[in-house]
Amino acid sequence: MNLTLKIWRQKDATSAGALATYQVKDISPDMSFLEMLDELNEQLNEQGEDPVAFDSDCREGICGTCSLMINGQAHGPEVTTTCQLHMRSFKDGDTITIEPWRADPFPVLKDLVVDRSALDRMIQAGGFISVNTGSAPEANSVPAPRDKAMRAFNVATCIGCGACVAACPNGSASLFLGAKITALGELPQGQPERWTRVVDMVGQHDHEGFGGCTNIGECTAACPKEIPLDVISQLNKDLRTAMKHGL
């Protein structure tokens, strides 16, 4: 297929950016969206024009590196990551607009690449269980009920891509945060730090400049791992309980 691409070009964090238009030809429907961009970049390199910078690594939908707004949707039209989106989701002759994640705590570094280190800093604030290497009890000495372990697993699949933030009109990272709070909070191992964790992580979230959640639901619609909205209710519930404990 032949396509028209409108791509956000921005030299670096401090320069202004703008959309530029490119044409690509003979795109196979079996290509992934990123392979289509590889093709464009080969073409640009040949013409002596700086290739488009974009992030990707695993290209298997698991590392969370790829991050593109495609026609205004985080990761594009399907419920998946950009690297797992294939060109068969588009039609010959389509015009596709490609932009970086947009949220104040995710500054653009170049073209389609943004800085998501705010997510790491939220983890540093308390997104872990404090256990030093070598001091763990025998694994089966603390049974975890299967349904709780399943729920913990289902939300632990969050890949930290930030699509939820990019999709949210408030720029909130509540879905990411809720997923972490729920994953650790469902397990017996996560209980001792449960209340301090939620207070510290939410504090960091606000400090980074992410917006508040007003229950719009765009986050869960955009989430490639289908993290359900009720993790945000869990987050709020845990936060209320923590407050009651006077934390």
Partner 1 sequence: MALLDGTTQTNQPPVQVSDDAAGYYTLGAPLVDPVAPTGPIKDRWTNRKFENRLVNPANRRKLDIIIVGTGLAGGAAAATLGEAGYNVKSFCYQDSPRRAHSIAAQGGINAAKNYKEDGDSVHRLFYDTVKGGDYRARENNVYRLAEVSANIIDQCVAQGVPFAREYGGLLDNRSFGGVQVSRTFYARGQTGQQLLIGAYQAMERQVAAGTVEQFTRHEMLELIVADGKARGIIARDLVTGEVSTHLADVVVLASGGYGNVFYLSTNAMGSNVTAAWRAHRKGAYMANPCYTQIHPTCIPVSGDHQSKLTLMSESLRNDGRIWVPKNPEDAEKDPRDIPEEDRDYYLERIYPAFGNLVPRDIASRAAKYQCDAGKGVGPAVREVDEEGNEKFVRRGVYLDFAEAIERFGLDGVKEKYDNLFDMYARITGENPYETPMRIYPAVHYVMGGLWVDYHLQSNVEGLFVTGEANFSDHGANRLGASALMQGLADGYFVLPNTIRDYLADGPFEKIDESHPDVVAARTETEERINKFLSIGGTRSADSFHKELGRIMWEYCGMERTETGLKKAIGLIQDLKKEFWSNLKVLGTADTLNQSLEKAGRVADFIELGELMCIDALNRRESCGGHFRAESQTEDGEALRHDDEFAYVAAWEFGGEDGQPVLHKEDLIYTAIEMKQRSYK
- Shortest Å distance, C-beta 23 to partner 1: 17
**Amino acid symbol at 211:** G
Tell me which of 10, 65, 182, 234 binds ligand FES, using CB under 6 A. Answer: 65
**Binding-residue total with partner 1 (CB under 8 A):** 76
Tell me which of 134, 169, 244, 246 binds partner 1, using CB under 8 A. Answer: 134
Determine the Cα–Cα distance for residues 173 and 96; give it in Å rounded to an integer. 27
Q: Which does 94 bind (CB under 5 to 8 A by kind): ligand SF4, ligand FES, partner 1, none?
A: none
Q: How many residues does the chain have?
A: 247
Residue recorded with tokens 């933030």:
165
Nearer to partner 1, 18 or 139 (CB): 139
Q: Which two tokens stand for residue 160?
A: 């930290």
Q: Counting beta carbons within 10 angstroms of the beta carbon of residue 168, is it exposed (0 to 12), middle (13 to 18) or buried (19 or more)?
A: buried
Contacts of ligand SF4 in 165-184 (CB under 6 A): 175-176, 179
* End-to-end alpha carbon distance in the chain: 58
Q: Using the rule CB under 6 A, give the single segment among 7-15, 48-56, 95-103, 222-230 that binds ligand SF4.
A: 222-230
- Shortest Å distance, C-beta 81 to ligand FES: 4
Determine the Cα–Cα distance for residues 13 and 171; give it in Å rounded to an integer. 19
Contacts of ligand FES in 76-115 (CB under 6 A): 81-83
Nearer to ligand FES, 40 or 187 (CB): 40
By the rule CB under 6 A, 56 interacts with ligand FES: yes
Determine the Cα–Cα distance for residues 96 and 128; give it in Å rounded to an integer. 40
Distances (CA, A) of 157 to 51, 75, 166, 224, 243: 32, 17, 19, 10, 28
- Residue 51 CA, distance from chain mean position: 24
Determine the Cα–Cα distance for residues 194 and 216; give it in Å rounded to an integer. 26
Determine the Cα–Cα distance for residues 21 and 239; give it in Å rounded to an integer. 47
In the shown chain, the binding pattern of residues 9 to 28 toward partner 1, with x for contact by CB under 8 A and - for none, equals --xx---------------x
- Shortest Å distance, C-beta 215 to ligand FES: 27
- Shortest Å distance, C-beta 106 to partner 1: 11
- Shortest Å distance, C-beta 196 to ligand SF4: 22
Contact set with ligand SF4 (CB under 6 A)? 158-164, 175-176, 179, 223-225, 227
Footprint of ligand FES (CB under 6 A): 56-59, 61-66, 81-83
